Structure 1
Amino acid sequence: MNEAARRLVPIAKDQAEAQYREAPNNLEAEQALLGAILVNNDAFYRVSDFLKPVHLNEPLHRKIFEVAGDIIRMGKTANPVTIKTFLKADEKVGDMTVAQYLARLASEAVSIINAEDYGRAIYDLALRRSLITIGEDMVNIAYDAPLDMPPQSQIEDAERRLFELAETGRYDGGFQSFNDAVALAIDMAGQAFERDGSLSGISTGIHSLDARMGGLQRSDLIVLAGRPGMGKTSLATNIAYNIAASYEGEVQADGSMKAKNGGVVGFYSLEMSSEQLATRIISEQTEVSSSKIRRGDISEHDFEKLVACSQHMQKVPLYIDQTGGISIAQLSARARRLKRQRGLDCLVVDYIQLMTGSGKSSDNRVQEITQITTGLKALGKELNVPIIALSQLSRQVESREDKRPQLSDLRESGSIEQDADVVLFVFREEYYVKNMEPRDEFDPKYEEWKMQFEKVKGTADVIIAKQRHGPTGTVKLAFQSEFTRFTDLADPSFTQYEH
């Protein structure tokens, strides 16, 4: 018999039975838990925070758990008598009616003390069933992959599904009751009360900016924009390092770590290499000019400072990805992986225009930018972290007399402005005034220029052009160009408000 014929021979009955495997489940554990809930409704609250009806394998058990939960949340008693009216009367469980089955569950109930253990066992089995589904889908798609689905996109899709599963179903996409939303808002206020600086979000390390924004709010997309030379990357790097350097972890009840202050930062540096970025941070921290560090034009004392700083920096949870031209799908997959392996509290992308969309290469760049910003906004919500995305501004700024940027200057897409929760512009008047210096220092206008330059020297404006949950306005900061460092001004009266 040739190979092709052998493959077509029907499978023997005993071989078929050997190959068939039932999905992991535990009917007795489900019965024991439901019995405990029917006898003592307090058992429901021991499992309701992690166990949902969908986690039970038997359809009738799902319905009983769902109905019991609804009745208990209404403040009423769930027992065989009150539940049976919400179930089909003519449904049979073997030789028993549903009413008889409910009575039997209650009569054979376990102690309420064991309810959580049974709930955990049921939940773990549900996770295993979900893993089997994901695994089977991966195999089937890999065998039968459509032409427009490259292996890389299948890997990214599998990573996304595994991440959602690992995050205990937090992103099931269902509706959330207003009660839960209110509880979350109160928790957030309580955390802000206890956190350094009493901020609802993560501190940027720049107090005058925090005062206007309340820190970086989780799930927000914060667009930081400016023309080249304004210091976008410097400000983003300063903020990223400040957050990572002030990281203080707190062990949670489930053994995981949560940031009490500061946080773990992921930095996508699409323009600069990780060494260039590290040089900037070292320069900022040691006050040794980055150009001197690159040239090796430093004293022994400066070198000692660099070594001491690098030893401290090695402990800072700042992770840099320097892949150029990364797609939004790749970026999302890597961010999920970082969150699972190291934790993640803030993400920085430098910058939007250097990214690519997930689909086929498109001539329509506006559409591609829309895809990127929508993807970043969705990723921020999924991971529950603020995302700082840098963006270039169009050249039309240069042709205006007033070079202060406006929302209409955001390049290539209105979606950047639309999807962003906060839009910040970095503007350094010093940069433009310096370029207007008269060539002849004996020119009558030279003194006037000098006075103007001294007035703006070493300062930068961060313009809050849009903020969903706070005021817009301008925050004036000090900027030390030789160290690429933004700091608070000594005189806080420079902070301005618009509305």
Structure 2
Amino acid sequence: MEAVRRLDVAQPETYRQAPHNVEAEQALLGAVLVNNEAFDRVSDFLEPEHFYEPVHQDIYAVLAKIIRAGKTADPITAKTHLPDELTADIPMQHYLARLAAEATTVINAADYGQAIYDLAIRRSLITVGEQMVADAYDSPVEQSPARQIEDAEKSLFELAERGRYEGGFQAFNVALRDAVNLAGEAYRRDGSLSGTATGLIDLDRKMGGLQRSDLIILAGRPAMGKTSLATNIAFNIAKAWQGETQPDGHIKTVDGGRVAFFSLEMSSEQLATRILAEQAGISSSDIRRGNIHESQFGQLVTASNSIADAPLYIDDTGGISISQLVARARRLKRQKGIDLIVVDYLQLLSGSRRSSDNRVQELTEITTGLKALAKELDVPIIALSQLSRQVEAREDKHPQLADLRESGSIEQDADVVLFVYREEYYHQNRQPKPGTEDHLKWLAEAEEVHGKAEVIIAKQRHGPTGTVELAFEAELTRFSNLVQDSQLPERFE
């Protein structure tokens, strides 16, 4: 009965018109008809479909074609390419003349264009919302709510991407000012780095830290320690994070950084275990097996409490696409702020149009998308990558740029390419028969390479290439600064 009563008193819905401003559209079209320079001020973001009135869409499209052909667009030249009559009572020529008479000035053209554009985006938002409601009411059996959410989110982020009209040229003095500010920040920062410090001194010295908007490829064969190195760098940066609240409420990073870690291969629990093992100084395999005594458990608790608040955000969804990754990174940037993104690893991402026939083309889309994301969010992105098996066929196992799988797009889009190499791994597999002279020589060489790793900087757009030596503790999956023999304290026998 209650439902019936509610239906009885229900009021008819009032009709709501979509957001629009016909007067602004008329004023802008008039400005273009009077002075074609007005078109140049809006043409990089305003398209015919952004106009609400269909006739205005047609007029703007015709004006755009005429101007882009290098001709003058005015009521006379435009009339030729439009219908003779606007309505039964109004000829098109009279309407164009009226538009020109009511034109805004060229100075205001950009403001009017942005107003028209913003209203078009709002109409698109309404369309997305209506589609979400319709899909939720009449969803197919095979379409899960999670899939509907993903589709809606994709539509929103596509709209957000189209809804950006900033950009274009900037004066050299603006770019120069930014360069001086960057140098000033480096001068004031500990270690005098222009980028974010990784915590690995020799690597920072060679690279100047991780530079904003850089795509950094970290590659290596399996078991070289790619994930360990990326995890170490990510946690070092997150642990060092310090923020400063700005007058507008925005938190500016002063040191370290907030890190987004996309782990497509390992779970968040496995990643956390690695970090905990490194910080507590206990083997990760012992932690997983519970092979620890009471005092070590106390170390784990202490280490866990000390690192719990580090701004490290882990997404361990497997097999996500580049578009999903971009959408999630943008969202986290808005909600929490990001100073570094890590992707482990590149070959596990999929493109928007997955194709088993053309993996190179798909990978090109992925690397191009990551580079664009690094520039858009103004953060460095470390993307891990596998190397091809041709490394194993060579006598010298040191990686080269040509070893990158589908290397063309990776090498082209990357600002920095790093290779991780551990001679110790290969040396263990070459053990000769014990008791022989070769075995004694092998033992001496094993001592020389034990606990050492190399990070080879094979490409760097704004710095030198070369090799950096690091210490590697396999049990703790920890990379650290290598103390050179020349830096050891003097020994007295």
Letter matched to residue 416 of structure 1? I
Whether contact under 8 Å (2:121, 2:159) holds in the other structure is: no
Aligned to 2:154: 156
Q: CA deviation at 1:282?
A: 0.6
Whether contact under 8 Å (1:24, 1:128) holds in the other structure is: no
Aligned to 2:87: none
Letter matched to residue 338 of structure 2? L
- The normalised TM-score by structure 1 is 0.71
Aligned to 1:302: 296
Q: Does residue 472 of structure 1 match 2:465?
A: yes
CA distances 1:139-159 after superposition (whole Å, capped 9, x unpaired)? 587789xxxxx9645632422
Relative to structure 1, the CA distance from residue 123 to residue 194 in structure 2 (aligned partners, 3 Å threshold; closer, same or farther) is farther
1:237-386 maps to which residues of 2 (within 5 A)?
A: 237-386=231-380
Q: CA deviation at 1:482?
A: 0.9
CA distances 1:84-118 after superposition (whole Å, capped 9, x unpaired)? xxxxxx96569xx979xx9xxxxxxxxxxxxxxxx
Q: Does residue 19 of structure 1 match 2:13?
A: no
Letter matched to residue 328 of structure 2? R
Q: CA deviation at 1:362?
A: 3.9
Relative to structure 1, the CA distance from residue 454 to residue 344 in structure 2 (aligned partners, 3 Å threshold; closer, same or farther) is same
2 CA distance for matches of 1:178 and 1:409?
39
Letter matched to residue 203 of structure 1? A
CA distances 1:453-489 after superposition (whole Å, capped 9, x unpaired)? 1111100000000000000000001111111111111
Letter matched to residue 368 of structure 1? E
Relative to structure 1, the CA distance from residue 449 to residue 16 in structure 2 (aligned partners, 3 Å threshold; closer, same or farther) is closer
Q: Does residue 182 of structure 1 match 2:193?
A: no
Aligned to 1:399, what secondary structure does the other structure show?
coil
Q: Does residue 455 of structure 1 match 2:448?
A: yes
Letter matched to residue 392 of structure 1? Q
Aligned to 2:191, what secondary structure does the other structure show?
helix
1 CA distance for matches of 2:308 and 2:158?
30
Whether contact under 8 Å (2:215, 2:381) holds in the other structure is: yes
Q: Does residue 416 of structure 1 match 2:414?
A: no
Whether contact under 8 Å (2:20, 2:116) holds in the other structure is: no
Identity %: 56
What is the aligned counterpart of 2:125 among 117, 131, 135? Answer: 135
CA distances 1:1-24 after superposition (whole Å, capped 9, x unpaired)? xxxxxxxxxxxxxx9996336548
After superposition, the CA RMSD in angstroms is 3.5
After superposing the two structures, state which structure 1 stretch, 418-427 or 125-134, moved more: 125-134
Over 4 Å off, 4+ runs: 15-18, 21-27, 90-94, 122-128, 139-144, 150-154
Letter matched to residue 235 of structure 2? Y
1 CA distance for matches of 2:158 and 2:485?
45
Aligned to 1:110: none
Whether contact under 8 Å (2:218, 2:420) holds in the other structure is: yes
Q: CA deviation at 1:310?
A: 1.2
1 CA distance for matches of 2:311 and 2:122?
34
Whether contact under 8 Å (2:452, 2:469) holds in the other structure is: yes
Letter matched to residue 248 of structure 1? Q
Aligned to 2:138: none
Aligned to 1:482: 475
1 CA distance for matches of 2:100 and 2:13?
32
2 CA distance for matches of 1:446 and 1:172?
66
2 CA distance for matches of 1:492 and 1:162?
55
User: Structure 1, unaligned stretches of length 5 or more?
Assistant: 1-14, 28-52, 58-89, 103-118, 145-149, 495-499
1 CA distance for matches of 2:431 and 2:364?
40
Q: CA deviation at 1:195?
A: 1.7
1:58-97 maps to which residues of 2 (within 5 A)?
A: 92=101
Relative to structure 1, the CA distance from residue 434 to residue 362 in structure 2 (aligned partners, 3 Å threshold; closer, same or farther) is closer
2 CA distance for matches of 1:25 and 1:202?
50
Letter matched to residue 270 of structure 2? Q
Relative to structure 1, the CA distance from residue 164 to residue 458 in structure 2 (aligned partners, 3 Å threshold; closer, same or farther) is farther
Q: Does residue 446 of structure 1 match 2:443?
A: no
User: Structure 2, unaligned stretches of length 5 or more?
Assistant: 1-11, 25-44, 52-98, 136-146, 488-493
Aligned to 1:196: 190
Aligned to 2:421: 427
Relative to structure 1, the CA distance from residue 374 to residue 459 in structure 2 (aligned partners, 3 Å threshold; closer, same or farther) is same
Relative to structure 1, the CA distance from residue 189 to residue 412 in structure 2 (aligned partners, 3 Å threshold; closer, same or farther) is same
Q: CA deviation at 1:369?
A: 1.0
Q: CA deviation at 1:439?
A: 3.3
Whether contact under 8 Å (2:259, 2:311) holds in the other structure is: yes
Aligned length: 392
Relative to structure 1, the CA distance from residue 420 to residue 157 in structure 2 (aligned partners, 3 Å threshold; closer, same or farther) is farther
1 CA distance for matches of 2:114 and 2:361?
42
Aligned to 1:482, what secondary structure does the other structure show?
coil
Relative to structure 1, the CA distance from residue 141 to residue 188 in structure 2 (aligned partners, 3 Å threshold; closer, same or farther) is farther
Aligned to 1:426, what secondary structure does the other structure show?
strand
Relative to structure 1, the CA distance from residue 321 to residue 288 in structure 2 (aligned partners, 3 Å threshold; closer, same or farther) is same
Relative to structure 1, the CA distance from residue 21 to residue 296 in structure 2 (aligned partners, 3 Å threshold; closer, same or farther) is closer
Aligned to 1:198, what secondary structure does the other structure show?
coil
Relative to structure 1, the CA distance from residue 242 to residue 492 in structure 2 (aligned partners, 3 Å threshold; closer, same or farther) is farther
1:27-66 maps to which residues of 2 (within 5 A)?
A: none
Relative to structure 1, the CA distance from residue 98 to residue 374 in structure 2 (aligned partners, 3 Å threshold; closer, same or farther) is closer
Whether contact under 8 Å (2:19, 2:122) holds in the other structure is: no
Letter matched to residue 17 of structure 2? Y
- The normalised TM-score by structure 2 is 0.72
